[in-house]
Structure 1
Amino acid sequence: MVPPSDFCFNAETAQDNEFQQKTDQPHYLVKESALEEFTLMVNQLRDHHVEVLLLNKHHGDPEMPDAVFPNNWFCTRHDGTIDIMPMKTPNRRLEARPEALAKLLEHNGYQIREINQLQDSGEAFLEGTGAMIFDHRHTKTYAALSERCDSQLLADYNRQRGYETISFNSFSRKATPFYHTNVMMSVGEQFAVICLDSITDPQQRASVESQLKADKKQIIDISLAQAEEHFCANVIQLRNLRNDPVIVLSGSAYHGFTKEQRQQISAHGKLIPCDIHTIESIGGGSARCMIAENFLPRQ
């Protein structure tokens, strides 16, 4: 996780992220609120025995308003590979700090075999686990195509990983593509939270649903309102240091689920709702976006 040291409204990303909201609050108060929410979230995760490594800002680093969402610029693999992903906006490309990341991970006992920089033409983008929802158990990748999820890069990346690609188009109530797949979908070990209504093509929707059912996922189908207003799909299942499953989500997502849906999802892990209202509303991302998983092997 990365502290929101420079957090503010990012005009560059707002071009295709309709969930960012401008505020009249002074910049210093916005940053103060974001840092407070972030610190409380980190403490909550650690209280539930989740290992959290913090990639702090160093002297001389540039301004990075969206650094709190690190899952977009790198992915880790079980074989010790770190993939550095091509990002759409110039001020988000500044977040990629592979040397600092490697130092943090190695210092905490993780083995890095290779750092793989995906070719960045500046014209096609694939923003990590924002763009791609991995089902590692079944070696599948679900992805909603958008300006931040190029179909050719997606296919090439998954072919190289040996993952099957399930791509589709997904739209908000404004009929614009969801900027990231993880706003409308998440996949856990035995469940999936998904806004099926956002996949307007009947064949694509049926294909995604059949893939999930074939892998015996419990489908928790949410509405467009739940996805857009509460970030109910932007959740993540982790395993803590005791190997217990936990599910991290925002307080808004927790309250946005129906009682029945909360019961369904809580059967798959202890729920950890985090109050991140400032980060959600101004940053346009939620709890899952704030977490980059570490699958690297121990040294």
Structure 2
Amino acid sequence: MNSASHLLMVRPAGFGFNPETAVNNAFQVAEPGNVQERALSEFDRMVQLLNHHHIEVTIVNDMPSPETPDSIFPNNWVSFHEGGIMCLYPMFAPIRRLEKKPELIEFLQRKFNVSAILDLSPHENENRFLEGTGSMVLDRRHKIAYACLSPRTHIEVLEEFCCLMKYKPIPFHGEDKNRIPVYHTNVMMTVGNEYAVICLDSIADTQEKDQVVTSLRNSEKEIIPITHHQMQHFAGNMLEVFNKDGKSFVIMSTQAYQSLNTGQITTLQKYSAILHTPLYTIEANGGGSARCMITEVF
């Protein structure tokens, strides 16, 4: 199974615009006012939506100290895998490394019956980074890791993860409409059980694009292309999940949903019921959307 039926989310204590991450995240825009309060409201509405559809969610309340303005995006520093494996990742921004709080890691070990930890964090000392399922979009069924290389996604760390976890790496380069490198793979693509949403226009290199398309087709995914404009509205940042009854849903923001055309929505609905919720404050100040807020538990 490629998609999870149990999710981990972190309720933020001090969400805000992070200048350390804004240096290479073109999606971030600082907003005035109490963004923490607005972000909490958006977070809680998303959790209510998931609960309403019987999707299992474990909520962790972040602590105000140390200050971690991006803690709402746990998918970047931790991932879970079959067999009780937990992976910890090297983070680009020093303030984001503080999200890997020892007491939280211990709690997750107990909560999710972790039997082994793969800790790639030492790569931070060499300025090599791989930010979890932000840097990698994983096809868990076929053991393929799609990765858009960037300052936050280093080829050597990607290859180490793939070697240890028995994944095939598919690295490539992606750019937005202004030719700025895409900071995370999961803002330009998602892979479900039977489909893939991807901004193929962002992959300028023909050979790299062909490799990605061939891999998706060989793994029997229906490809749903999105445009640069739709990617900028977080249409690539969606995630397929299953509820307790085994029903498939695809989670996205309202901004992402409203950017899709009728044909794209119809194709998605062949496979998954669509759930969307407003995340405008989180998207603008954090530069991430619905998928970034979710760590899948296997």
Return closer, same or farther for 1:98/1:51 CA change in 2, 3 Å cut-off.
farther
- CA contact 1:75–1:83 (8 Å) conserved in 2: yes
- Summarize deviations over 1:41-94 as a string: whole Å, max 9, x none: 0010011111111121236x3011111010000011111111110000011101
Write out aligned runs for 1:82-231 (5 A).
82-104=86-108, 106-107=110-111, 110-118=112-120, 119-122=122-125, 123-228=127-232, 230-231=233-234
Equivalent residue of 1:37, what SS?
Answer: helix
**Pairing of 1:29-48 with structure 2 (within 5 A):** 29-48=34-53
CA distance in 2, matches of 1:81, 1:102: 13
Query: Which residue does the alignment assign to 2:6?
Result: none
Letter in 2 for 1:74: V
- Is contact 2:13–2:63 with CA below 8 Å preserved after alignment? no
Residues of 2 paired with 1:226 and 1:168: CA distance?
A: 20
Within the candidate set 238, 243, 250, 2:241 is matched to 238
- For 2:158 and 2:119, the matched residues in 1 are separated by 15
CA contact (8 A) 1:4 1:35 kept: yes
Q: Which of the residues 228, 247, 251 maps onto 1:248? A: 251
Secondary structure at the aligned position of 1:2 is classed as: strand
Q: Which structure ranks higher in relative contact order (CA pairs < 8 Å, sequence separation ≥ 6)?
A: 2
Superposed CA deviations along residues 232-281 of structure 1, whole A, max 9, x for unmatched, are 00000011111211110000111111011011112211111011111011
Retained in 1: the 8 A contact 2:24–2:183? yes
Contact 2:176–2:202, Cα closer than 8 Å, also in 1: yes
* 1:176 Cα offset (Å): 1.5
TM-superposed deviation, 1:116: 2.5
2:75 maps to 1:71: yes
- Which among 260, 270, 274 is matched to residue 271 of structure 1? 274
CA drift of 1:4 comes to 2.3
2:265 to 258, 262, 265: 262
What secondary structure sits across from 1:193 in the alignment? Answer: strand
Q: How far 1:216 sits from its partner (Å)?
A: 1.3
AA matched with 2:27: F
Q: Aligned partners of 1:259 and 1:239: how far apart in 2?
A: 23
Cα separation, partners in 2 of 1:102 and 1:244, compared to 1, 3 Å: farther
Higher normalized strand content (fraction of residues): 2
Please tell me the residue identity of whatever aligns with 2:253. S
2:28 maps to which of 20, 27, 30: 20
Consecutive unaligned residues in structure 1, runs of 5 or more: none
Unaligned runs of 5+ in 2: 1-8
Matched, 1:9 2:17: yes
The superposition leaves residues 197-256 of structure 1 with CA deviations (integer Å, 9 ceiling, x where unpaired) of 00000111111111111111010000001001x100000001111121111000011111
Equivalents in 2 of 1:58, 1:252: separation in Å? 29
* SS of residue matched to 1:52: strand
TM-score by length of 2: 0.94
Q: For 2:59 and 2:182, how far apart are their aligned partners in 1?
A: 28
Separation of aligned partners in 2, 1:261 and 1:14: 30
Partner amino acid for 2:29? Answer: Q
Looking at structure 2, the residues matched to 133 and 179 of structure 1 have their Cα atoms a distance apart, in angstroms, of 13
Q: Which moved more, 1:242-251 or 1:128-137?
A: 242-251
Tell me which amino acid in the other structure corresponds to 1:96.
K
Shift of 1:98: 4.7
Determine the structure 2 residue equivalent to 1:284: 287
Q: CA deviation at 1:153?
A: 0.7
Does structure 2 conserve the Cα–Cα contact (< 8 Å) formed by 1:102 and 1:112?
A: no
CA contact (8 A) 1:55 1:101 kept: no
For normalisation by structure 1, the TM-score amounts to: 0.93
1:278 alignment partner AA: T
